[in-house]
Amino acid sequence: MIMKKIAEETIDQLISRADSYVSQNRWLHAIQIFDQILDIDETYLPAYYAVAEHYIGQRHLDSAENYLLDAHDVDPKDERTLFLLGNVSVIRNEPKKALEWYQKIDIKNNSSAELTYNMGLANMRLSQLQEAVDYFLKAIEHDPFFPRIHEILAEAYIQLNQLKEASECVKEAIRQDPTSPHGYTLTGHVFIRRGLTRRAKESFESAIQLDAKNAQAFHGLGMTLLQMDEIDEGINKLEKAVELDPKNLPIRMDLSMSYIRSNRFSDALSQLKSAEQSFPKNQWIKNVISRLRKNVLS
């Protein structure tokens, strides 16, 4: 009994010290203290949470996962642990694994905006768009004043070609955050799907005014200008989009095809060969390069 009391007092003191270090953002010291706590009581789950959440914030995902798996060994049904393990998988772009963790949580009785948002995000990455929409709507029920949820719900609706619903979501996102460039980018995509190219152009330009490094807005603006037969200016905007986001394959593909349609075959080949360095296994790139060399540049 005396030893147990000493241990409890020691843990209380260590927790106080760890919390103090956390408040000072001295995480190296805090983690050492949390490890000491776990040496005394390996079932103290808040220590696992604290360290794992810090590592998640720093994108040290392997370290975060190690702590969370240890916590999972302590209590396989602990929902905070399951939630954080799912979050690690979302960040790693492992949506199937993320859903496996999330689905172990009693969502009916223990739901939240963040949980349902992340489940929607995982479903969206698996192209399970209707499931994604359902979870995003649940997230909005929990937190209707969260512009990002309205934006990503609009993205899902756009992919489903449900443009009326997408437009309503984007309007609400912009109403909540008028400074969000992504909201105006999405508005542009809704307009371009409706064939309203001039209004799409204005929306993409508004997005760029808010964020001059918005590759998606330059991409949308470039494609809109091409539809308006402003070919040179459209290609110029697509080139800017590639400059801002060189690892975005759809942008590179659209720029390459715009070169081909403008009979700028050497530029197309150069763009495709550059893209191939980033995406060496992409069969579409290989096929277009092969056709260019065989039919045009031979």
Q: What pLDDT, on a 0 to 100 scale, did the predictor assign at position 294?
A: 83
Question: Domain residues for 147?
Answer: 110-178
Judge whether 247 lies within some domain.
no
Judge whether 173 lies within some domain.
yes
Judge whether 237 lies within some domain.
no
Q: What pLDDT, on a 0 to 100 scale, did the predictor assign at position 107?
A: 84
The answer, yes or no, to whether residue 242 has pLDDT greater than 90, is: yes
What's the first-to-final CA gap in the chain, in angstroms? Answer: 88
Report H helices in 61-162.
Answer: 61-74, 79-91, 95-102, 113-125, 129-142, 147-159
Cα separations in angstroms, 168 against 116, 151, 172, 266, 295: 20, 10, 6, 43, 47
Please give the structure tokens belonging to residue 28: 């190296």
The answer, yes or no, to whether residue 208 has pLDDT greater than 70, is: yes
Judge whether 166 lies within some domain.
yes
Number of domains in the chain: 1
Contact yes or no for 139/146 (Cβ under 8 A): yes
Judge whether 122 lies within some domain.
yes
- Averaged pLDDT, 17-23: 87
> The pTM is what?
0.84
Confidence band for 3, pLDDT divided at 50, 70 and 90: very low
Judge whether 73 lies within some domain.
no
Judge whether 134 lies within some domain.
yes
The CATH number of residue 151's host domain is 1.25.40.10
Judge whether 143 lies within some domain.
yes
